[in-house]
Structure 1
Amino acid sequence: MAKNPFAAGSVILSTSSFVNVLLPSEKGQRCDHCHRLSSLGSLKRCTGCVSFFYCDQTCRSQSMDWKFGHRKICKLYNAYTSSTAFQALEAHKKMDALLLSSLVAHLSSVDVKEWDETIPISTFLSLLCGPVEGSAPPICPRHTFDQTLVDGLYARFENNNFSIHSHFRKTYAHGIFPVASRLFNHSCMPNAAMKFIIQTHEPLKMQVVALRPISAGEEICVPYLDPALLQTRTAVFQLTYGFMCSCSSCKVVRKVGIIPEPPAEPAEFQNICWRLREFVKSMGTGTSPFLTGDSSIFPADLACVLHESFITILSDKFSAASFLHDGPYDDVVETSSTLVALYSLIYPPNYPQIGLHLLERAKSCWNHIVRSRPADNTAMLAADLEDAVASARSVLKVIGPEGDSNDGPIDELQTLTNVKNSI
């Protein structure tokens, strides 16, 4: 609960990762300690296992990682990852096994007597176990812990892990942030969201940022998964977290009941898109039924827009019209406007995905200006570009820079701001 009010964009919590592991595809591209993205071949291998990479041989990233627990798995890592038991695991279970290995390696590096005094350890051990029972997968480090303890650690994995992303687009690692897990409940219409801060030689940090003004006494909630998963999220909540979400968005979805597929006939699909845009246009600020929980104002004949295939169809159409096939600009505008309407309906204000799409719309507008430059359309395209850039900036400035330090959405917006003056 918020003890004091928070303005939109305020950092509510900043907390370092307890343990984290890179996806296999990121190995050798990022420092295994601070996650800094480096040019190919510039990172230095650990000479013991040759499978972990660090910023350089003299930086404190390697020494800190060694002290944190890498020394417990270094000589065993390659034999472990090539073992039959590990290779038999599913991809997501392999990530769990690697993360659990890192956790046990760290715990093995800390005196058990100090566990209760170490905030990340004591906080992690206090977290609720997930609803799925099962024994832990095989892990890498040698340890003297009772198997019951290891299984208990693993039981907290499914419902307390975080996917770590850069620029809100690409997941590149998984990690555990016990304080964030302990403090924040979920909502599909959250008033806060997580972002990740990468700093050279420093542990990865998560920041929880207010998406809108939060009053004193109001509960602070974050999304445990993408709120756009309107059909599947109920099952995920029950299977992974063991709860039934009762947020305003879920109340509307449950009231709708069975969600029909969107129409396959093009004219009918186009009519649904038009009706969605008109409905969202008629809503006042803060009156979305998914935000207020008032299902009575949501038109029953628009239920198909909640089908998860609807957003996929729109995204594919937008990509095809804007980049892949040089489609007509009118198609870009119409599809983009429908996506913005859908996002404004199912996401809370200032949610990053809204800003990311507005950025893509701005980039598409610029591409059409560069490719065609029709004299009679230049003014219209310039106005569209100005509006898309301004709208994207108003959303993305709330959450701020995230992930890698360059080439992110805010950098792209600045580039578009610079070039649009040349029109």
Structure 2
Amino acid sequence: MSLDDLQSKNISLEPHPVGRSKCVARNSFTAGSTILSNLSFVDALLPSEKGHRCDYCHHHAGPGSLKKCTGCASFYYCDQTCQNKHWKSGHRKICKTYNSYTSASSFQALDQHKKMDALLLSGLVARVALLDVNERNSEENQAFLTFQSLLPGPMAAAAPPINPKHSFSAEFIQNLYSRFENNNHTIHSHFVTHAHGIFPLASRSFNHSCMPNAGVKFVLQVHEPVKMEIVALRAISIGDEICIPYIDPALLQTRMSVFDLTYGFTCFCPSCNVIRKVGNIPEPPKDTPDFQAVCKRLREFVGTMEPSPLFTGDDSRFPKDLACVLHESFISTLSEQFSAASHDGQYDVALDSSASLTALYQLLYPPNYPQIGKYFARTLGNQYSFYHLIGLHFLEKAKSCWNHSVRSTPEVSTVTELERSIAAAREVLTVIGNEGDPDNGPLVELSTLSRLYQRQ
């Protein structure tokens, strides 16, 4: 789909009062509706996934079931079909030199995230080198034209060394890199990242919001390129701007600098406006009783609040004595407490931590928010990758309740929490729907847990 085709669909790009443009709904969308589908133009698996996933369709296979590329022995495929498709889309430009390229000192000296940039840029250059200029209206050429229309990032970082032999100028390569460095997405299955990819139309269409009304998921099918889908998280009316999150909204302290240095804009969403009004965010108390007192105060406040002041932008409703819960260490501490208690079988502690964590999620995130949207944001050489997953948390909470119920005589409150957690997880995860690998996944786990509970 091209930008021109986009205008005839259910969405359109219209002038933005501050930014370049905005994506506006031309029809209404219900929660869970697919707003836009966009195939990967170029993608690259994480090194840890090599040999476990097909390098073309990302199908996850059992040990030894994928076929090695006979040329480089470093790329793996489901079968000849995937290998032929990958060969035609660019692998033939990098195959023979891939191993010498990745073992060279210039590549090995790169930071890990720069290595991924280098691999993705190499794939992009290889793909562009194979474009048929005589087929200007082909999907591949339209996708590249859309990619070229993306704005470069604000930081002029030098392009990393790339693999394929080509006739492009250094200026052209730098031009490509400046546009994809802040417009690439991490690809995930079951909300676990396994690759990076470029999806030009999605990058061109959607602006960011820390309280988005749409989210990102990926669909993996054997023999097919990875597909990104933009899904409505809640009802969207005609004329509404459709926004996705570029970074996890829980990055309350660092989000401003990430937006400025990585994306080159200032966010004025309701959440950011409240954060500005709050001002300095103090660290949460170190002492356990004081920390627990803050948690209790948070639960009490959220229990009387609907919706979140960060969702509405009403800073007058946010109590200043809870400013420390906006500190990024607060959510990390709660997450670690919940995980450790669940793992160690301390289910009462786990459920108490979960209650506070759920309250914090309700404060920080919009309704039906299952996962982060822009999964790989960088600034000053640091990597931010936060996975505070609301739907998945309810699933993990349900598992803790279940484990507690089967290992001891459950209290009525535990059974009630189990039922509520299953219902909450189903409500949130059903909105985003099936994603990633078609087998297993959170919805399958939830279904299994529900059956076990019903048989009890």
Deviation of 1:114 after TM superposition, in Å, equals 4.2
**Residue by residue, what CA displacement relative to the aligned partner does 1:111-142 show, whole Å, maximum 9, x if unpaired?**
34545752110000010000111331110001
Task: Provide the secondary structure at the position in 2 that maps to 1:318.
Answer: helix
Counterpart of 1:397, as a letter, is: T
Range 379-388 or range 11-20, more displaced:
379-388
Range 378-387 or range 306-315, more displaced:
378-387
**What is the CA–CA distance in structure 2 between the aligned matches of 1:188 and 1:388, rounded to whole Å?**
25
Counterpart of 1:181, as a letter, is: S
Match of 1:311 among 331, 337, 354: 331
**Residue by residue, what CA displacement relative to the aligned partner does 1:266-312 show, whole Å, maximum 9, x if unpaired?**
1111111011111111012xx21111101110000000000010011
Residue 200 of structure 2 corresponds to which residue in structure 1?
178
Match of 2:403 among 359, 367, 370: 367
**What is the CA–CA distance in structure 2 between the aligned matches of 1:288 and 1:380, rounded to whole Å?**
26
Q: Map residues 94-105 of structure 1 onto 2, 5 A cutoff.
A: 94-105=115-126
Contact 1:116 1:122 in 2 (8 A): no
**Residue by residue, what CA displacement relative to the aligned partner does 1:156-175 show, whole Å, maximum 9, x if unpaired?**
1221010111111x211000
**What is the CA–CA distance in structure 2 between the aligned matches of 1:199 and 1:232, rounded to whole Å?**
36
Counterpart of 2:439, as a letter, is: N
Residue 412 of structure 1 corresponds to which residue in structure 2?
445
Counterpart of 2:101, as a letter, is: Y
Contact 1:382 1:420 in 2 (8 A): no
Q: Determine if the alignment matches structure 1 residue 391 to structure 2 residue 424.
A: yes
**What is the CA–CA distance in structure 1 between the aligned matches of 2:62 and 2:44, rounded to whole Å?**
20
Q: Determine if the alignment matches structure 1 residue 48 to structure 2 residue 84.
A: no
**What is the CA–CA distance in structure 2 between the aligned matches of 1:8 and 1:261, rounded to whole Å?**
36
**What is the CA–CA distance in structure 1 between the aligned matches of 2:283 and 2:110, rounded to whole Å?**
35
Deviation of 1:413 after TM superposition, in Å, equals 0.5
Q: Map residues 24-423 of structure 1 onto 2, 5 A cutoff.
A: 24-56=47-79, 58=80, 60-114=81-135, 118-168=141-191, 170-284=192-306, 287-323=307-343, 325-327=344-346, 329-352=347-370, 353-372=389-408, 374=409, 377-423=410-456
Counterpart of 1:319, as a letter, is: S
Runs of 4+ in 1 over 4 A off after TM superposition: 113-117
**What is the CA–CA distance in structure 2 between the aligned matches of 1:175 and 1:33, rounded to whole Å?**
12
Task: Provide the secondary structure at the position in 2 that maps to 1:143.
Answer: coil
**What is the CA–CA distance in structure 2 between the aligned matches of 1:218 and 1:380, rounded to whole Å?**
41
Counterpart of 2:435, as a letter, is: E
Deviation of 1:402 after TM superposition, in Å, equals 1.4
Count of residues in correspondence between the two structures: 413
TM-score (structure 2 length as normaliser): 0.89
**Residue by residue, what CA displacement relative to the aligned partner does 1:62-114 show, whole Å, maximum 9, x if unpaired?**
11110101000000100000011111111101100100000100111113454
**Residue by residue, what CA displacement relative to the aligned partner does 1:206-238 show, whole Å, maximum 9, x if unpaired?**
000000000110000000011111111111111
Counterpart of 2:177, as a letter, is: Y
**What is the CA–CA distance in structure 2 between the aligned matches of 1:210 and 1:358, rounded to whole Å?**
20
Counterpart of 2:328, as a letter, is: E
Unaligned runs of 5+ in 1: none
Task: Provide the secondary structure at the position in 2 that maps to 1:75.
Answer: coil
Contact 1:101 1:141 in 2 (8 A): yes
Give the root-mean-square deviation of aligned CA atoms.
1.1
Task: Provide the secondary structure at the position in 1 that maps to 2:35.
Answer: strand
Task: Provide the secondary structure at the position in 1 that maps to 2:194.
Answer: strand
TM-score (structure 1 length as normaliser): 0.96
**What is the CA–CA distance in structure 1 between the aligned matches of 2:309 and 2:411, rounded to whole Å?**
38
**Residue by residue, what CA displacement relative to the aligned partner does 1:289-336 show, whole Å, maximum 9, x if unpaired?**
11110111000000000001001110111112111x221x33222110
Range 187-196 or range 131-140, more displaced:
131-140
Task: Provide the secondary structure at the position in 1 that maps to 2:224.
Answer: coil
